[in-house]
Amino acid sequence: MLTGAGISADSGVPTFRGAEGLWKNFRAEDLATPAAFERDPRLVWEWYNWRRELIATKQPNDAHKAIAELERRSPDFWLITQNVDGLHRDAGSQKLSEIHGNIWKVRCTGCRAVENNRDVPISILPSCPRCGSLLRPHIVWFGESLFAEDLDCCSKALKRCDILLVIGTSGVVYPAAGFASVAKEAGAFVGEINLDPTPQSALIDVSLQGRAKDLVPLLLDPI
């Protein structure tokens, strides 16, 4: 499965881009960059703390829970998510690639160590307990490449899968927007669940319009 912001929207998580993500007159595109963090790490961390406080009030919805159950039923299941909110893990998913990172993880700018951090609010500015260097959110920012390990894992999963379900993603952000084509070329059946048609809709086998929380749990029903 490949999931995007649409599945988390059903839990009330804002997209943090556009009007929903405006914070103190800053846009996400202005703050989620290496240059912004280098220029004013306190400002960036204040924004991420605001995001963390919002996400901390949200819970996995029925779609998240159904995906976790599908993982338990299938030994070959793999989840690729563009979401950084951690709701898939909260729902019980364990076999997954969080290709844009996780807002509940921090990475040291010195020793590069990654660790979980659920502090709300988080101490600003946070420092590494190992080397004392400044911590940053473990997020792939604009202008950064996805983690090579995740890309390799995704490529292998897409090329060997029999079925790919694309849920709640706009189909315009690459490289994830190209994942359906990779799976199709490898011979997989590809389905899509989204509120509206996407640029990928014409390329795949089945496109269903509706909310993830309503449609994904139907996959658990016996045929």
Q: Provide the pLDDT for residue 23.
A: 75
Q: Quick one: tokens of 101?
A: 């990172």
The residue-averaged pLDDT of 107-134 equals 97
User: Nearest Cα to 107, choosing from 30, 152, 151, 41?
Assistant: 41
Number of other residues whose CB lies within 10 A of the CB of residue 93: 25
β-pair type (114-116, 2-3)? unpaired
Q: Give the pLDDT band (50/70/90) at residue 137.
A: very high
Show which residues are catalytic. 100
Alpha-carbon distance of 121 to 137, in angstroms, equals 14
pLDDT digit string, tens, across residues 112-125:
999 999 999 999 99
Q: Degrees (nearest 5) of the Cα angle 136, 141, 144?
A: 110
pLDDT digit string, tens, across residues 140-193:
999 999 999 999 999 999 999 999 999 999 887 888 889 999 999 999 999 999
Q: Provide the pLDDT for residue 172.
A: 79
Radius of gyration of the CA atoms of the chain, in A: 18
Q: Degrees (nearest 5) of the Cα angle 84, 87, 91?
A: 150
Q: Provide the pLDDT for residue 177.
A: 87
Residue 20 pLDDT exceeds 80: no
- Reduce the DSSP state of residue 172 to 3 states and report it: coil
Sign of CA dihedral 150, 155, 161, 163: positive
> What does the mean pLDDT of the chain come to?
93
Q: Give the pLDDT band (50/70/90) at residue 10.
A: very high
pLDDT digit string, tens, across residues 62-92:
999 999 999 999 999 999 999 999 999 999 9
Looking at the whole model, is its pTM more than 0.85?
Answer: yes
Q: Which helix (H) or strand (E) holds 79?
A: strand 79-81
The answer to whether residues 218 and 67 touch, using CB atoms and an 8 Å cutoff, is no
Q: Provide the pLDDT for residue 22.
A: 64
Residue 46 pLDDT exceeds 80: yes
CA distances from 216 to 17, 62, 119 (A): 25, 8, 31
Residue 50 pLDDT exceeds 80: yes
Amino acid at 112: R
User: Domains, the chain, ranges and CATH?
Assistant: 2-220 (3.40.50.1220)
Residue 25 pLDDT exceeds 80: no
Q: Provide the pLDDT for residue 18.
A: 57
Alpha-carbon distance of 215 to 116, in angstroms, equals 32
Strands (E), 93-175: 96-98, 101-108, 114-116, 135-139, 163-167
Q: Give the pLDDT band (50/70/90) at residue 17.
A: low
